[in-house]
Amino acid sequence: DIPVLEMISVQRRRYLPAGFLSHAAGYVGEVSEQQIEASNGRLRPGDFAGKFGLEQQYNDVLQGTDGKRRVVVNSVGKEMKDMPLSAQEAIPGKQIQLSIDYDLQLVAEQSLGARPGAVVALDPRNGEVLAMVSHPAADPNDFAVRISADEWKRLNEDPEKPLLDRAIQAQLAPGSVFKIVTATAMLEDHVPSESFKTVCPGYASFFGRQYHCWVYYAKTGRKSHGVTDLHEAILKSCDVFFYTVGLRLGIDRLAYYASHFGIGHKTGIDLPSEEPGLMPSPGWVQRVLHRKWYQGEVISVATGQGAVTTTPVQLARMIGGIASGGVFMQPHMLKDASNVGVDRFPISEPTVEKITDAMYGVVNEPGGTGGQLRLAGIELSGKSGTAQVIGYDTLARIHKEKKFEDNAWFVGYAPRRNPEIVVSVLVQESGKHGGEAAGPVVRDIIKAYYDKKNKKEGQYTAETNVPAPRTKPVSTVVTVPRAPRVVLKRPEATSEETARPVSERER
């Protein structure tokens, strides 16, 4: 009992280590003047509030209210315990339960590894986010009290952009994943007809210019796809086929379908700062670039290149919605959320069957770009995408600098129709095609999902036909029948003494 010594209790937020779920969880920080002014007296200088991610999105739910206690003190500031005046009880914040599946999140984090990119796993039936990863990531524990100006500057100037939530903010060309939009538009509009075929010699000439198919640059020795119909074009990702279909359809019809599938629009996920991506159109070109639209631009857009950009969460929602017959659920991270939005765009049953059969073939038929991802007993389906950052000829001239290497995409789901899980994976600057770089991450997550489901139901565990290039098998990670759910909970609010704060309110 030292008269001149006062103990002050300070709470701080603790997050899972090693950046686990860091972008989605977000972080807290000291309130700004703007936040104080907007709080109607609830916040004061030195208080902490959510600044990013779920911490910011659900700040009003997680943050409680401090209590107050008026006391009488003696000449040295010591409380006279036998003379209490009044007290106001603290109100603790509420907790929220997330839809994140801890074990799937762990698999996603480990499978992506240190590579820059993102993972989004959704349940397309209800929009629940089962896993979400963005790498590289900062450790939110560094923000738990105060971060130095030097560290904040370092994070913002880091060329790897660790503060960017790639799952909802990385707006990049989707590459051949976009061919599913082009294929759906072709079947629904009957332009060209379903029986349409092309001859792919590895290139095609339009408007006096030669456009190459990806196979022309492949290291497999084969330089062409030959005669190709729609099923084979999706299976083998033939650019020449989709160049031709895109020209026949025109940009207006492509933009019509892409927009209804969510490209160019935010998904509405319950995270702040989501980006909308972009679906170019003649109107956009005139409004933003102040020039006319050139007909040849649709050739690039039809294969997911050019000005079209998407985010990983958009592609997960889009592919899951198409495979579900045109039902596009709003993604959300809050478990059992109410008022979940849904967009319905009618797609004919024959079109859904043809598209989903082709995506099943990508993984399960000879020649598919995802053949190495096959899982026994699981109808893993999907579409690969390899998006150029710059042209291949230019890339060769500058000796393949890493920052200009191709971005790899793979969006996979299971089962073939009416899927239970859809996974979108982006690996930036991988220099590899989507099935090779991003596909194994999709496979690992979907295998883990079915391993757990089958264990719960007392069924077999699926085996991969081709071993995944991982140091640890996924099965060593998945050890429980049902994963725990992640919960964010605010510590109980504390009291304060008259005339001086003795604690900092934090979440």
**456: helix, coil or strand?**
helix
Which among 154, 115, 119, 136 has a CA at the least distance from the CA of 402? Answer: 115
Neighbours of 399 (CB within 10 A): 7
- Cα-based torsion angle of the residue sequence 473, 476, 481, 484 in order, rounded to the nearest 10 degrees: -100
Strand runs labelled E in 451-506:
485-489, 503-504
Active-site residue flag, 176: yes
Asked whether the CA dihedral 346, 350, 353, 357 is positive or negative, the reply is: negative
Which among 269, 275, 329, 266 has a CA at the least distance from the CA of 58? Answer: 269
**424: helix, coil or strand?**
strand
**214: helix, coil or strand?**
helix
User: ω into residue 136 within 30 of 0, thus cis?
Assistant: yes
Q: For residues 391 and 209, give the distance between their C-alpha atoms in angstroms, rounded to a whole number.
A: 14
Q: Are 439 and 411 in contact (CB under 8 A)?
A: no
Distance of CA 359 to the CA centre of its chain: 20
Q: For residues 462 and 468, give the distance between their C-alpha atoms in angstroms, rounded to a whole number.
A: 13
Residue 191: Cβ-neighbour burial (10 angstroms; 0-12, 13-18, 19+): middle
Which residues partner with 423 through β-bridges?
121, 412
Neighbours of 403 (CB within 10 A): 9
Q: For residues 122 and 321, give the distance between their C-alpha atoms in angstroms, rounded to a whole number.
A: 11
Q: For residues 217 and 202, give the distance between their C-alpha atoms in angstroms, rounded to a whole number.
A: 9
Q: For residues 231 and 236, give the distance between their C-alpha atoms in angstroms, rounded to a whole number.
A: 9
Q: For residues 247 and 242, give the distance between their C-alpha atoms in angstroms, rounded to a whole number.
A: 8
Active-site choice (176, 281, 384, 424): 176
Alpha helices of 80-178 — where are they, by DSSP H?
102-112, 149-157, 166-169
Residues with a catalytic annotation lie at: 176
